[in-house]
Structure 1
Amino acid sequence: MSTMNIEKNIKDFKELQRMSEEIAAEMEAIKDKIKAEMSERGTDEIITGEYKIRYKTVKSSRFDTKAFKEAHKDLYSAFVKDNITTRFTIA
C-alpha cells in the first residue's frame, strides 16, 4: 500500500471516528431524556410497545487490587501475571 493510500485510509478512519463520537453523543442525549422521563414518572421500568426499559441501581462487589497490593505486597507479587497486547493508535 502506498503512502498516499495509507494517508487516505487514515483520513477516512478519522472522519468515521468523528462521526461515531457524534452518534455516541446523540445516543447518550436520548438515553438521558428517557432516564429523565422515568425519574419524572417515579418508575424504574417502562414497558412500551415492543420495548421494556429498565433504569435500576445494581450492586456489585469487586476485588480491590490496589488495597490488596498495599496490604500484601509479597502475596500480590506472587500472583501478578504479565499481559502482552498489541495497541493500534493514530495521532
Structure 2
Amino acid sequence: MRNEGLSYRQAAALFDIRNVNIVARWEPNYDQGGLEALSPLASLRRKKMTKHQTTESPKSSKGAASRTRDELIKELDNPAWRMPI
C-alpha cells in the first residue's frame, strides 16, 4: 500500500477485501509489530489478561462462606439492592 501509494480503498479493492476499515485497522498493527502482527493469532497473543481492581466495602469484606444465612438474607432485603420498577 505504501510502496504503491494506494489508499485504503484501493488496497482493499486490489486484494478483494470487502471492508475497507479492516485495512485501516491493519496499518497501525503493522507499524507496531510488523508482518507478524497481522497474523490471525497475533490479536490473541497481544491481549493480556489483567486483574480488575475491586473496591470492597467494609460490610462485604467478610467472605460469603463465613457469613450466616440470616446475614445474607438481611443484606438482600436492603432497599439499596432493589431495582426500581
Q: Which has the higher strand share?
A: 1
Q: TM-score range by the shorter chain?
A: under 0.3
Using structure 1 for the length normalisation, give the TM-score.
0.25
Greater RCO, CA 8 A, separation 6+: 1
